[in-house]
């Protein structure tokens, strides 16, 4: 595994979370509820199966899977975050946390596949030309008939863009985004962020998958619409039914008979 450092300590997450809502009930619950509940449902349905959490970060899905599923493998390229998750699930004998990229895991475990693969909130931070390979790896790592859940950012088609975390009002070009995303030493502007539209996200999904479900989540609280409208460069009312994030539930097509 080459040196890799995730360009964020997630210190700004509570402030962002306070601006978002699940729109379920009184809106006081977790703004990611739709996404989290879908993953939990699949984990419970596939309890006898295996889970792969690609880019596990601080292990929220790894820990949930460890409690619900037979076997869990988590991959994380940042050594510190990998160690964090390893500690989190240290008492779970069914769980292994590895400091590896998906490609490296495939090289080391040829033919290994999982009943459920999670790729949560990773692809929006990667150079654009590396995303198809990562999604191909996810397809390869999913058992035929198995499921995958991929989540990322979400914006209206006309508002898809690239920016750097510490200057969200300043949209940048794809080339500048890619240069910054590839240069792991420049930490000064935080994470590179790509805001995906629904159609460009769906267009990236490999043919090996059937799309079972698309959904959006993390809606903007009404009093925050003006703030996000400025960042997205749209009118506030255009964002009233737009989630800040989106996810796809995918089913790997059965292998064709020879």
Ligand X SMILES: C[S@@+](CC[C@H](N)C(=O)[O-])C[C@H]1O[C@@H](n2cnc3c(N)ncnc32)[C@H](O)[C@@H]1O
Among 43, 69, 122, 138, binds ligand X (CB under 6 A): 122
Counting residues that bind ligand X (by CB under 6 A) gives 17
Among 126, 208, 248, 249, binds ligand X (CB under 6 A): 126
> Please, what is the minimum distance in Å from the beta carbon of residue 16 to ligand X?
12
Q: Write the DSSP symbol of residue 191.
A: -
- As a whole number of angstroms, the distance between CA 189 and CA 165 comes to 6
Task: Count the alpha carbons within 13 Å of 156 in the hemisphere toward its beta carbon.
Answer: 16
Which residue's CB is nearer to ligand X, number 66 or number 126?
A: 126
> Please, what is the minimum distance in Å from the beta carbon of residue 58 to ligand X?
6
Rg (the chain; Cα; Å)? 18
Nearest C-alpha neighbor of 142 from the set 117, 174, 105, 167: 117
For residues 137 and 211, is the Cβ–Cβ distance under 8 A? Answer: no
Which residue's CB is nearer to ligand X, number 125 or number 198?
A: 125
- As a whole number of angstroms, the distance between CA 115 and CA 52 comes to 8
Which residue's CB is nearer to ligand X, number 146 or number 192?
A: 192
Which residue's CB is nearer to ligand X, number 60 or number 253?
A: 60
- As a whole number of angstroms, the distance between CA 196 and CA 199 comes to 8
> Applying CB under 6 A, which part among 16-24, 49-57, 65-73, 240-248 lies near ligand X?
49-57
Give the 3-state secondary structure percentages of the chain, helix then strand then coil, rounded to 5: 35, 30, 35
Query: What track of x and - describes contact with ligand X for positions 50 through 79 (by CB under 6 A)?
Result: ----xxxx--x---------------xxx-
Among 81, 86, 154, 195, binds ligand X (CB under 6 A): 81
Does 36 contact ligand X by CB under 6 A?
no
Does 177 contact ligand X by CB under 6 A?
no
Q: Output the CA torsion sign for 185, 17, 38, 209.
A: negative
- For tokens 């009184």, name the residue: 26
Among 22, 120, 152, 178, binds ligand X (CB under 6 A): 120
Subset of 129-148 contacting ligand X (CB under 6 A): 134
- As a whole number of angstroms, the distance between CA 102 and CA 72 comes to 14
Q: Quick count: other Cβ atoms within 10 Å of Cβ 98?
A: 19
Query: What track of x and - describes contact with ligand X for positions 87 through 116 (by CB under 6 A)?
Result: --------------x---------------
Which residue's CB is nearer to ligand X, number 134 or number 205?
A: 134
Q: Give the residues lining the site for ligand X (CB under 6 A).
A: 6, 54-57, 60, 76-78, 81, 101, 120-122, 125-126, 134
């Amino acid at each position: 595994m080459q040196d890799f450092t995730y360009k964020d300590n997630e210190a700004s997450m509570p402030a962002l979370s306070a601006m978002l809502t699940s729109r379920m009930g009184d809106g006081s619950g977790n703004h990611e509820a739709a996404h989290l509940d879908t993953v939990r449902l699949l984990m419970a349905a596939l309890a006898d199966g295996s889970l792969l959490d690609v880019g596990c970060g601080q292990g929220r899905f790894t820990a949930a899977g460890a409690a619900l599923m037979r076997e869990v493998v988590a991959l994380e390229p940042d050594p510190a975050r990998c160690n964090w998750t390893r500690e989190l699930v240290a008492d779970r004998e069914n769980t292994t946390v590895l400091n590896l990229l998906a490609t490296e895991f495939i090289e080391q475990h040829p033919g290994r596949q999982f009943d459920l693969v999670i790729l949560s909130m990773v692809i929006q931070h990667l150079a654009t030309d590396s995303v198809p390979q990562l999604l191909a790896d996810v397809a390869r790592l999913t058992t035929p008939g198995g499921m995958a859940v991929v989540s990322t950012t979400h914006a209206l088609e006309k508002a898809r863009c690239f920016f750097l975390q510490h200057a969200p009002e300043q949209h940048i070009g794809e080339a500048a985004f890619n240069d910054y995303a590839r240069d792991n030493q420049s930490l000064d502007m935080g994470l590179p962020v790509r805001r995906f539209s629904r159609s460009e996200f769906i267009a990236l999904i490999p043919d090996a998958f059937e799309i079972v479900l698309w959904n959006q989540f993390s809606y903007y609280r009404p009093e925050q619409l003006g703030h996000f409208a400025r960042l997205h460069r749209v009118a506030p009312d255009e964002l009233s039914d737009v989630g800040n994030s989106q996810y796809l539930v995918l089913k790997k097509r059965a292998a064709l008979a020879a």
